[in-house]
Amino acid sequence: MADSTVFRASTTAPVNIAVIKYWGKRDATLNLPTNSSLSVTLSQRSLRTVTTASCSASYPASEGDTLTLNGSLQDISSSKRTLACLASLRVLRNELESANPSLPALSTYPLRIVSENNFPTAAGLASSAAGFAALVRAIANLYELPQSPTELSRIARQGSGSACRSLQGGYVAWRSGTKEDGSDSIAEEIAPASHWPEMRALILVVSAEKKDVPSTEGMQTTVKTSPLFATRAERIVPGRMTAIETAIHNRDFPAFADLTMRDSNNFHACCLDSEPPIFYLNDVSRAAIRLVNDINHVAGKTVAAYTFDAGPNAVIYYLDDVSEIVAGTFKAILGEGLDGWEGPFGDRLKGVSAGADLQKLDSRAIEALKHGISRVILTGVGEGPEKVDTHLVSETGAILKSGQ
C-alpha cells in the first residue's frame, strides 16, 4: 500500500516589468531571446502569485500531474511549456535521489499544484511571469533542490521567457546567452531591492479594449518581418544593457529613465515595423507618454519614466521623493475615487491631491487619460519569491482556497 504522506511546499512570486525589453526569440522551444533584457521586480505587497506544489505516492497516477489556477483545473497535457518545466525539475530531483537512495522518491509521484494570483485578470497584467516563477520555485522547494535562483531561471525561462526574471528581487538582468542549448541564457540579480529601494511604479490600467496580439505570436511576426528589428537586437540593446546597469549601480534616475523610455519606444517601433503592423499603444497610452514628458518638463528634470509592455497599460517609474509631482499629478487628473490609490504604497499620497500645475500640462492628454484609465496600481521595487507556510493544498491533498 502506498505511503499517504503529502509533501508540500509553497512560495510567492512577484511580477516584473522590463525597462530593457524582451522581444524576439532565437529559439522558440527553449524561449531563448534575441537580446538581453532587464527588469525591475515589483513588490509582492501589491501584486503576487502564491503557489503550492505538492506530491504524494497516494495521488492517483491516472490523474497525472495537475495544475489548478485561480480555482480552475488547467489542461497541462497540451501545455508544452509547463511540461518542459516539470520534466526539468524532475530530472534535478532524480539526480538527488540517485545520489542518496534514502530520500523519498518524489520525482516518481504525481504533482498537484495550486496557484492563485492576487490581481484581477482584468488588470491586463501579464501573469505568466509570476506564475511560472512561482511554479518553478515551489517545486524546487518541494524537491529540496540545491540550485540557485539563477540556475533555476533556465527552467522558468522555458515556461515563459520573462518568468526567469521573477525568480529574484530588485533589478534583474536576463542574459540572452549565445549557446544553442540555452545553458547561458540565465537571469541574474544585478542589484537587490535594498540597493535602490526608493523606486516606485505607478501602473495606469487602460480600460479594456480589444484583445492584443499575444506576445509570442507578435514576437515571431517581428523577427520574421521587421527590417529594423535586427538593428535593435544586435546594435542597440547591448549598449543600453551596459548603460542601464551603470545607471542602476549609480542610482542615476535621469539616465535610467532616459534609457527606459527610449527602449520602450524602440520596442514598439519594431512592432509597428512588422507586417502586419502590431499596435500595443493606443491613444490613451500616447496621452500617458505626453503627460510624463510634460511632468518632466514642468519639474525641470527627469523625474518620471514611462514604459509599455505588449499592451496599452502605462507603467511609470519614479523615485519616492518625487511622489507628489509624479503620482500626485496623476491622482489629481484621475481622481481620488479611482480604484488603486489605496494599498501598501498609498500612505505616501494620503492627502496629496495635486502635483504639477495641471494648466501646464497638455489638456487633450488630460482628457484622454481621464476617460481611458480604469484603475491604477501603486507599487514599487520589491523582493523575489518568498517561502510561505500557508499552503493551498491540505495535509491530505485537498485543494484549499487561499482566502485572498
What is the binding site for its own copies (CB under 8 A)? 209-210, 226-228, 231-232, 235-236, 258, 261-262, 265-266, 268-270, 272-277, 279, 282-283, 286, 289, 293, 362, 364
Q: Is the Cβ of residue 16 or residue 222 nearer to its own copies in the bound state?
A: 222
Q: Is the Cβ of residue 301 or residue 364 nearer to its own copies in the bound state?
A: 364
Minimal distance in Å, beta carbon 252 to its own copies? Answer: 17
Q: Is the Cβ of residue 7 or residue 279 nearer to its own copies in the bound state?
A: 279
Minimal distance in Å, beta carbon 224 to its own copies? Answer: 13
Minimal distance in Å, beta carbon 264 to its own copies? Answer: 9
Alpha carbon distance 252, 67 (integer Å): 42
Minimal distance in Å, beta carbon 348 to its own copies? Answer: 28
Q: Is the Cβ of residue 27 or residue 275 nearer to its own copies in the bound state?
A: 275
Minimal distance in Å, beta carbon 258 to its own copies? Answer: 8
Could you tell me the CA-to-CA distances from 132 to 26, 102, 117, 225, 333 in Å, in that order?
20, 30, 12, 29, 36
Alpha carbon distance 9, 56 (integer Å): 12
Q: Is the Cβ of residue 301 or residue 350 nearer to its own copies in the bound state?
A: 301
Residues 317 and 19: beta-carbon distance below 8 Å = yes
Could you tell me the CA-to-CA distances from 365 to 44, 102, 191, 352, 378 in Å, in that order?
31, 66, 35, 21, 21
DSSP string, 197-221: TTEEEEEEEEPP-SPPPPHHHHHHH
Residues 180 and 194: beta-carbon distance below 8 Å = no
Minimal distance in Å, beta carbon 225 to its own copies? Answer: 8
Q: Mark residue 396 as left, alpha or beta (left: phi above 0; alpha: psi -120 to 50; beta: remaining).
A: alpha
Alpha carbon distance 1, 364 (integer Å): 72
H or E element in which residue 297 lies: helix 283-299
Strands (E), 108-255: 111-117, 171-174, 187-191, 199-206
Q: Is the Cβ of residue 269 or residue 354 nearer to its own copies in the bound state?
A: 269
Could you tell me the CA-to-CA distances from 337 to 313, 358, 366, 386 in Å, in that order?
19, 18, 16, 33
Minimal distance in Å, beta carbon 344 to its own copies? Answer: 32
Q: Is the Cβ of residue 153 or residue 222 nearer to its own copies in the bound state?
A: 222
Of 205, 176, 187, 166, residue with least CA distance to 315? 205
Q: Is the Cβ of residue 21 or residue 154 nearer to its own copies in the bound state?
A: 21
Minimal distance in Å, beta carbon 281 to its own copies? Answer: 8
DSSP state for residue 50 in the 8-state scheme: E
Q: Position of cell 502635483?
A: 355
Minimal distance in Å, beta carbon 270 to its own copies? Answer: 7
Q: How many angstroms from the chain centroid is the CA of residue 224?
A: 25
Residues 134 and 70: beta-carbon distance below 8 Å = no
Residue 316 buriedness (CB in 10 A; 0-12 / 13-18 / 19+): buried
Minimal distance in Å, beta carbon 299 to its own copies? Answer: 15
Could you tell me the CA-to-CA distances from 48 to 17, 215, 218, 290, 383 in Å, in that order?
13, 21, 26, 30, 11
Q: Is the Cβ of residue 86 or residue 281 nearer to its own copies in the bound state?
A: 281
Q: Is the Cβ of residue 35 or residue 54 nearer to its own copies in the bound state?
A: 35
